[in-house]
Structure 1
């Protein structure tokens, strides 16, 4: 619905949302989604097709993990991504802020803190066929994605072989959600201390 923004997609979304509401006992979580239909035109006007895409947010989290591991700003080379290209103005904007104010701060809560401004020294979109590192990363990411998406399918045996390989035992792996740990304590989120990222962005960024 968000990506295509046409009437058919909107109608389909709310039909499914209504069916979901009827099928669950805890309706307080789903009902606001169903009720949002009356505001959907204004909602669509205020967002773009990548607003709920997790590519950019995941990219920032990974960059932050590498920065904290290396203790240095990082140079990023990555395969061409429409989502990252779309949000590149954010990185450019934060680079300007970093030059005006060298202060580095962590925003967010508990283990969900991220460094601001993003400690990205440079960002270059490259063709994977010309970059061995990008080819290797693509191979690893594709193997892991295949493993998780084919556990019970036709290639279940191959998926299991990937799972039991050294791939998931790499010492420099950065594991992101999803995870089977769901409690605040298991996730390291029981403290609740930190800076509200929405408030911080509102007070400090002007796009």
Structure 2
């Protein structure tokens, strides 16, 4: 599975070496094109790779793993396998880049933060938008999978943008994500009234500033 993703790249392969990599992870029921509209508002120094989730839902929509959208319920084992598969792809491409940063929307934020929690030393920063982090106590298969102790020591910068009135992500998921983030990462949390379950222009501007300060200027 690791090498079988459909990926939209903003640079030809011959132009990617030595550039910082930004991986876009879309939400449930979307596709690789979904977040490409953000690219013009982000730092031009990045090579952007928009990865399409592998599970087809038909009609051009995809998911990283099966999800009960009414309860936001999922198989922990399926979520873990999705993360491992994505890591296989990432391992194939990451070494030609100066750093790797993840940007995930909704379910894509769950994927991004899970990747971060399993290999915190591999990522320069993470951006999570209108999403959540996976609670390892919600199901079997995640015991000991996340290394939050290493992540706490690493203090990776995480930008978390959302609307307080997001109609999609349940309150218990938000509460868990807030508790987890405040204790493990270098958190920048911003609320955007009126964004709903979406992304607003001011948020894109803040993401650009965050990526510039935490990735491009970190050295």
Could you say which TM-score interval applies, normalised by the shorter chain? under 0.3
Could you say which structure has the larger radius of gyration? 1
TM-score by length of 1: 0.24
TM-score by length of 2: 0.23
Structure with the largest fraction of strand: 2
